[in-house]
Amino acid sequence: MTLTLNLPPELEQYLAQEGQQQGLSVETYTLQLIQQSILQKEKQLKLVNVFQSWIDEGNEEK
């Protein structure tokens, strides 16, 4: 999928600089950030679900 974003110049510059420091194009660096963000969100959701299941189990025992 191709996605076109209109970024503020400051954000574009930041992404370009950070990507360059890691030897990546701005596109590759930005894609990595998006992927990391999604994976982190999925991990958080799984953890919340585990905690909720513990709470639910505790409530059933009462």
pLDDT in tens, 9-57: 999 999 999 999 999 999 999 999 999 999 999 999 999 999 899 888 8
| 62 band by pLDDT with thresholds 50, 70 and 90 | low
Is the pTM of the predicted complex or chain greater than 0.85? no
CA dihedral 30, 35, 41, 45 (to 10 degrees): 170
The pLDDT of residue 56: 86
Which residues 6+ apart lie within 8 Å of 22 measured at CB?
A: 29
| 8 band by pLDDT with thresholds 50, 70 and 90 | very high
Does pLDDT of 7 surpass 90?
yes
